[in-house]
Amino acid sequence: MRYSSVTGVGRSIVLIGGMGAGKSTVGRCLHRRTGLALHDTDEIVANFGRSIPEIFAEHGEKKFREAETEALRYIPTEEQRIIITGGGIVLRKENVEILKSQAVIVWLDADEETLFTRASRKSNRPLLHTKNPRKTFSQILGARRPLYANIADIRVDTSVLTDEEVAVAILAKLRKMNPKPESPIRAKAS
Report percent pLDDT > 90 for the chain: 54
Least confident piece of the model among 49-58, 64-73, 105-114 = 49-58
pLDDT at position 143 over 80: yes
pLDDT of residue 181: 52
Distance CA 73, CA 59 (A): 21
pLDDT at position 166 over 60: yes
The model's pTM: 0.85
| Residues 83-99, mean pLDDT to the nearest whole number | 94
> pLDDT band at 17, cuts 50/70/90?
very high
Task: Give me the amino acid identity at 170.
Answer: I
pLDDT of residue 126: 60
| Residues 97-113, mean pLDDT to the nearest whole number | 94
pLDDT at position 77 over 70: yes
Long-range contacts: 160-165, Cβ < 8 Å, 24+?
Answer: 163/22, 163/25, 163/26, 163/28, 163/29, 164/29
Least confident piece of the model among 49-63, 81-95, 101-115, 172-186 = 172-186
Least confident piece of the model among 15-24, 140-149, 174-183 = 174-183
Between 2 and 15, the more confident residue is: 15
> pLDDT band at 122, cuts 50/70/90?
confident
pLDDT of residue 6: 36
Q: How far is CA 44 from CA 52, 59, 104, 131, 179, in A?
A: 10, 17, 20, 29, 33
**123 CB contacts (<8 Å, ≥6 apart)?**
none
pLDDT at position 72 over 70: yes
- Give the closest residue to 140 by CA, choosing from 157, 121, 126: 126
- What phi and psi, each to the nearest 5 degrees, are found at residue 145? -55, -45
